[in-house]
A and B are shown apart, each in its own frame.
Chain A
């Protein structure tokens, strides 16, 4: 039941311009985009950022269906925050349910936040959809490398991510096996209330942890036997190279950012200050 179709990462393997970009470029673009999305403070800003996101999705050849499916887990948060804004922002009322008063500024503010969240999720999930976990780790290691001088353990972080990715399916399978073994001896994981169910997980977690530590021990031994001694003096087989396409994508991102900043200055906040 645990390992039922769990895909680590959500990499969607097709050949597209976005897929072939350097992972470092994609990480940087995603970070810029996130900041820009919060710099933008009106619907014009979103029009610019949204157009950019739609362009990126189209070029990535990832079906909208997949992206919309990715939105599902956050629907609740989105509705909740939108509702919160709708009812808690003061201003002229639209309608009233008991003590809750929905206001016009609240409606605008709620929609504004909702749209921002949608664009944010769609664009950032594009990163993991178009970049395989290995590329992502490689890219992250490379981006963090300059910071290793101030004590950021770039290589170690990347190594941890790689090992985690490598062992997630192994441990899930093991959890499934232990669970079945416990169930065959009468353990019950599925009935009872939340607390009872949480309690029934203990006999699953204990052996799982014990085995994870044993695995870690053996893996460390195997890595040492293969001459692993940290990031010092280590080379990589896969080399990352920035190409023309990467510079083009970065350039477009900067133009988009400039446009968003322009809309912020030109049009101001979605609900002008002082009207509340």
Chain B
């Protein structure tokens, strides 16, 4: 059962996936995706609605299996049925709607759900649960009912539920889409922490451009294919291509671009407030 360790964490090769709309009609959700994500990387996937980003995410933990091509998760092929559970344990997934992914009536019970499914000893589960809740800063709420938490807190509990399974990778499918700004910030801070402090690979799907700035690498999907890939700076410097896909360069990026166009001598590719401040100060 021990999988052969590959240098990369997750790998997709020529992945094609079709949704059957009805008997005669199928929609091509993924039309040949090649992708490599290494251990510890923070990847953000952007793309308009229906571009296949969620479908791709579901391929990365064997919730969906490719019609053509292969997906390897830490060296395990998702098509091997005996590896399904190990794949899902090591590549956990957080979904969009916080209400529809919490199972239990008490926070701590919900976090324990994953480890319980894995058949871990009760004492060990307790340890894992308190560790996971501490990592997302929710240990004070362990006896609360999820119903009474805010959206951001619910999402953090959902993340803790994945963490308790000791994953090497977390896939987040638009976890911030239904949250208010403060909830979004909460969740993004947590995700960043997991990546930097625990070395967990993060694959974050979002339609908020500013969240892409956290990433080591940004992948833009369109019509089931990878349209662009690179560091945030590289991707957002392709100004025209981005807007053609119906996406927007983050506000600070737009600002520095405009300043540059107006003849001020700064780098037009700047995307964050801090960088822009530094650059402007240098002009004095």
Partner-B contacts on A (CB < 8 A): 133-134, 162-163, 165-166, 169-170, 215, 218-219, 221-229, 233-239
Contacts and interface: CB of A to CB of B under 8 A. Distances in A.
B146 interface: yes
A221 B95 CA distance: 9
Contacts of A165: 105
B30 to A, nearest CB: 18
Interface string B129-147: 1000000000000000111
A237 B119 contact: no
Contact of B102 (A166, A221, A234): A166
A106 B106 CA distance: 50
Contacts of A163: 103
B101 interface: yes
B109 A227 contact: no
B165 interface: yes
Interface of B: 61, 63, 85, 88-89, 92-93, 95, 97, 99-106, 108-109, 112-122, 125-126, 129, 145-147, 161-162, 165
A233 B109 CA distance: 18
Nearest to B97: A218
B116 A235 contact: yes
A134 B114 contact: no
- Secondary structure of the B side of the interface? helix
Contacts of A229: 85, 117
B96 to A, nearest CB: 8
Contact of B89 (A219, A222, A227): A227
Contact of A226 (B119, B121, B161): B161
A239 B125 CA distance: 11
Contacts of B93: 222, 225
B101 A222 contact: yes
A14 to B, nearest CB: 16
B258 to A, nearest CB: 41
Contacts of A226: 88, 92, 113-114, 117, 161-162, 165
Given A134-B104, A215-B97, A225-B63, 18 more contacts: A134-B106, A162-B104, A165-B105, A166-B104, A218-B95, A225-B92, A225-B93, A226-B113, A226-B161, A227-B88, A227-B114, A227-B117, A229-B117, A233-B119, A234-B119, A235-B122, A235-B125, A236-B116
A233 B101 CA distance: 22
A142 B97 CA distance: 32
